[in-house]
Structure 1
């Protein structure tokens, strides 16, 4: 009973949405701050989200991978064999273990089936791009099915190193997933999944503005070769069907490792400090997350819908800076541990034949601790902190089927994300805990279809108010980072629709307007005061996406006897948006145009794809250092062309 955007497999494949970040950037109303690498990212949904990543498990916007929770720090991970990606907007947490302040992104991958099927795909393109991907699944016995999927890809980085005249790195990605599904005779099934994803040499970009056409750094060669991110996940889902209800247990264990280089190259260093040189930190992060969720829910077709659940999560992680340009004398080691217990429930029942009421509650208890060791001046300072927090959230919604093809809905909801500790602390004063954030949200929306289903249209107006939103302050002169709180609010409107003009041609479009504002003062911090009335960073007032699809049999062509032409055009617009909470400057708006043309004969398709066809310079993020009057940030890849072949069986 809330608004959502769903990307189906066809959209993911033909729209070339290779990772979670691509999916988010193709969704109106979603803002992303990332530096192009694997470590730093912030997600805003309808203008709600933490202002820069605060902790390893900061869950203002929650991600789930087949039900297993992930933090927004993992948006660089790939969409291997994804069946569907759902972006649920607004506070969540009364229907599943995933609780969120801003919204939840659910990634659902393909499961084993009783029919033998799969695909193989290969691509090559400009700037050394290549991709090999495939999946196969089917029955292994009368009750057992399996599926495996694999992707290996890489490219030359789009930014050049001035010292070598070559790309700063050659990023690579390897992803594997294997699943076994056992289906018993008494309504019981079990799904066991293991997956591994690894990304190498994909750097966070810190570059002086204004950029040259495609970006340039002046750094020690091969510095980014040590950048590496890996994730391993094992999950067991057991389901038993009682007829009118179903109980599901999901147990998952996730481990993640990340080695990152945060580097000021010689160009930026000279602009910041007026002296030659470069400076870099090596950051090493690790996380281990155990999650257990038990959910009892009504079956499909029950007189009314209900769900009761309990979840437990244990998080154990570290974020260390063992060395920098000058060695190990200022090394910092930070360990984090937390436990989260939740009870949740939701019920949806009819008030009449056309009106339904939905209500849900969630109670959560958290305990967390922090241990830091700060090296400097030949000595070590240790500290230990702990905190606890509990909170009650929920939602109340109403839907009305005013006509067979038209539904109205209204919803109020409260969300919460726990407080925590600054992962970048370099001294005890920096690790002062920040408070948990609470959001209150209201939305009114509709969904309709008309002209015998040729048109589908949905939309919503919404307003959000966040108390104690999470704010990260950075001082570019001293490298000191502080974690703080600030209030924010957002309001806006969104529309999305599809026109099925003919069996061969369809157009889908989405439009969002968001007015997001900081509503409290935070003075005397980092690189400048944050004032009430400033705009929330990285949230563009206007965003839009349009996709046009054409599929039609054509006469014999290029040796194909009975070819089918597939053409897809994707257009995304992101308006100008503030680069930082101080609103020092705005990031430029951009228009991104992607084109894909394919010819299919039987089960095999040959295609060519052009990404960023207009060759726009797309800014990923920005920051301003007032002491030197210097701005810096990062940019995405420019225009590239790729050719590929896919075979399904």
Structure 2
């Protein structure tokens, strides 16, 4: 393979966020030595199963601690992704078909819930990424690993990994009780209780309930919110440490979502939708069980990770609201459909490797993943012209089964006193089985049979891995280069409609990516400054896309494969002049384009088109100030933070038919911490930016076919400004 680094224009990204506020109580000025430690400490990341300093990792890692998430008012995964440079999200917040790209790498849209370009890990177990509105409840840290992670994190980490770790039970009785109240009917309550049960056994329980208004207002319901999304999340953990060498952790996570219908409407600068009252319904239930056991020797540790999950999502409502119908057809057309996605998953991994304090890093292991999933669809009715010939005028039942087993290993070897070599390799065997049954509704008018079935399977065997060098210029400066090979399996689409013609489903092809990164990480103690910079180039072959052949008149789909490339630069700087103040700033640039597509592509795309959802420019600014005060006899800590993320315009679809507007997201927080609790005034989306979250292009339909001759830009907009107050009491 030829290594080709392109000249890259632009700079930077912000990776991370604020320092935690100081604890309440009497404060004395820190000593000079303590201040130096505070201002030069390097983030400890969990990128390779053991805690490591970020500077020693030869690729980019965006690190968020639990304090960072609280300061930035980040309560769910979707908010985290919007605030992280280099991540491109296509999601309405509730749709299991959501897709995520890192540095322009990933499916052009989500062709299947199994087509995960980015792996999400929770306590060492991969979890489905479809529901990007999952709550970040009692999280210890999140590390976003950029670039293919095909050595240690599995078969589908084509673009990167979101590695989340929850807080473990401790041997101290503690907890907190808190709540938030805000505009747009925002209500949130949360509870955490950590209890030592014996000298070796501890438990931890965390609960959270959240309710707010949907982003869109319904014109047919007096401009009231379309729905009132509700989320109930909980986690229970048991930690047992029978001796100093063994540590066992059992965790149960559950999330229950109701009334989360978001809706799709015209993107014409308004936050309105037009639907009969109560017609939208969206609900989900996700449960994940994890068991971790670790046995340690002096320089060696054995880790077992076992995970089981059950994930369910159901959505029903119209195909289009009346505003879209008026734009395309000049009249109101009623319609209705429902679909559900149910998945069961089992994961088992054993790995043997070095400990945190070992002079040489290495890890090797084996894992197995089973996933069984059903996707059911029912097209109830549609009054729009052509529905009687639409392949979705039917009931469709699909069954997907995946088995995967892999052997992996990675090590970092010192070649000289300053030069380290990191190399890893993984071999994976996979089998995919697919069944599909299509049953036409009674009014279906196309000739041919009214029922078809399909049964297929695919097998793959492949290598992934990486190799990189890290050179230490000084104790505080290092430079690195990394090459990674990523792979994403082929499979079967959730929305293939070829079966309506009696044809077997056409599998989408396996995708591969060659990724290159050059970077530098540095601490400058004399300036109290931390710098991170990276240049990257990614070349992807056969990534995935599904297109509506003629979305104005039919929901028939076609699955296509594209070649793409992305290149760019990221730069971030953190300045900590004293223990009270911290400033982070950064810029990022990504140019992501289509380099090849099928000759007869029905997507409307062309070679050289920009990849949808990926902004070219971005900037980040985070400022935090914390200072101890004395209010009479009460010692308190004043705490404030301001976090801003800018993203430039981005293309809405692969045809580059229209752009989604600039994003300006600002969150702010100000308040006091004391022994009587923490009270804050806060705001999310302070600038009230209502830019589109995602978009689709519906081409014009000629009057001869019942259309108005007008095209439509459809999608949804982000939630507006929320201002509120929060209180949290610790015990």
Relative contact order higher in (CA < 8 Å, ≥ 6 apart): 2
Kindly report which structure 2 residues correspond to 1:44-123, keeping only aligned pairs within 5 A, or say none: 44-97=101-154, 99-123=156-180
Residue in structure 2 matched with residue 408 of structure 1 by the alignment: 479
Provide the C-alpha distance between the structure 2 equivalents of 1:644 and 1:487, rounded to a whole number of angstroms.
48
1-structure distance, mates of 2:264, 2:278:
16
- In the other structure, the counterpart of 2:629 is 554
Q: 2:205 aligns with which of 148, 167, 183?
A: 148
Q: Is the 8 A contact 2:150 2:487 kept in 1?
A: no
* Structural RMSD (CA): 1.8
> What's the CA shift for 1:307?
0.5
**Who is 1:599 aligned against?**
672
* Structure 1 unaligned regions, length at least 5: none
Further displaced range: 322-331 or 236-245: 322-331
- 1:350 and 2:414 correspond: yes
1:242 deviation in Å? Answer: 2.3
The 8 Å contact of residues 96 and 344 in structure 1, kept in 2 or not, is answered as: no
In 1, Cα distance between equivalents of 2:226 and 2:282: 12
Corresponding residue number in structure 1 for 2:43: none
Contact preservation (8 Å) 2:137, 2:206: yes
**Is 1:171 matched up with 2:215?**
no
- SS of the equivalent of 1:645 reads strand
Whether contact under 8 Å (1:422, 1:430) holds in the other structure is no
CA distance in structure 2 between the partners assigned to 1:79 and 1:453 by the alignment: 34
Shift, 1:176, TM fit: 0.6
Q: CA deviation at 1:426?
A: 3.2
Shift of 1:151: 0.4
Tell me which of 625, 630, 640 is aligned to 1:567: 640
Deviation at 1:129, TM superposition (A): 0.6
Residue deviations 1:110-137 (CA, integer Å, cap 9, x gap): 0111122222220111111100012121
Query: Aligned residue for 1:581?
Result: 654
Unaligned runs of 5+ residues in structure 2 are: 1-57, 384-391, 443-449, 701-709
Q: Which residue of 1 aligns with 2:49?
A: none
Instruction: Say yes or no: does 1:643 pair with 2:708.
Output: no
Of structures 1 and 2, the larger Rg is shown by 2
Cα shift at 1:553:
2.4
Q: 1:185 aligns with which of 230, 243, 256?
A: 243
SS of residue in 1 equivalent to 2:483: strand
The DSSP-based 3-state class of the residue aligned with 1:13 is helix
Question: Does the alignment pair 1:258 with 2:313?
Answer: yes
Tell me which residue corresponds to 1:626.
699
* Counterpart pick for 1:318 among 355, 358, 374: 374
2:267 paired residue number? 209
**TM-score where L is the length of structure 1:** 0.96
Q: What's the secondary structure of 1:170's corresponding residue?
A: coil
C-alpha deviation, 1:41, in angstroms: 1.5
Change in 2 beyond 3 A, CA 1:188/1:330: same
Q: Specify which structure has the higher proportion of strand.
A: 1
The answer (yes or no) to whether the contact 1:316–1:336 under 8 Å persists in 2 is yes
Q: 1:481 aligns with which of 540, 557, 567?
A: 557
Aligned residues: 643
Q: In 2 relative to 1, CA 603–456 (structure 1 residues): closer, same or farther, beyond 3 Å?
A: farther
**Residues 122-521 of structure 1 correspond to what in structure 2 (within 5 A)?**
122-165=179-222, 166-185=224-243, 187-212=245-270, 215-224=271-280, 226-261=281-316, 263=318, 264-325=320-381, 330-376=394-440, 378=442, 379-428=450-499, 429=503, 431-452=505-526, 454-474=528-548, 475-476=550-551, 477-521=553-597
Give the stretch that moved more between structures: 413-422 or 477-486: 477-486
Secondary structure of 1:325 counterpart: strand
Instruction: Say if 1:93 and 1:344, in contact at 8 Å, map to a contact too.
Output: no
State the distance in 2 between where 1:117 and 1:434 align.
Answer: 51
How far residue 319 of structure 1 moved from its aligned partner, in angstroms, is: 1.2
Deviation of 1:278 (Å) = 2.9
**Which position in structure 1 is the counterpart of 2:62?**
5
Task: Specify whether residues 222 and 173 from structure 1 end up closer, same or farther in structure 2 by C-alpha distance, changes over 3 A only.
Answer: same
Is contact 1:182–1:191 with CA below 8 Å preserved after alignment?
yes
**Are the aligned partners of 1:523 and 1:530 in contact in 2 as well (CA < 8 Å)?**
no
Match for residue 51 of structure 2? none
Asked if the contact 2:334–2:382 (Cα under 8 Å) also holds between the matched residues in 1, the reply is no
Q: Which moved more, 1:258-267 or 1:436-445?
A: 258-267
Q: CA deviation at 1:326?
A: 5.4
Work out the CA distance in 1 between the residues paired with 2:155 and 2:489.
13
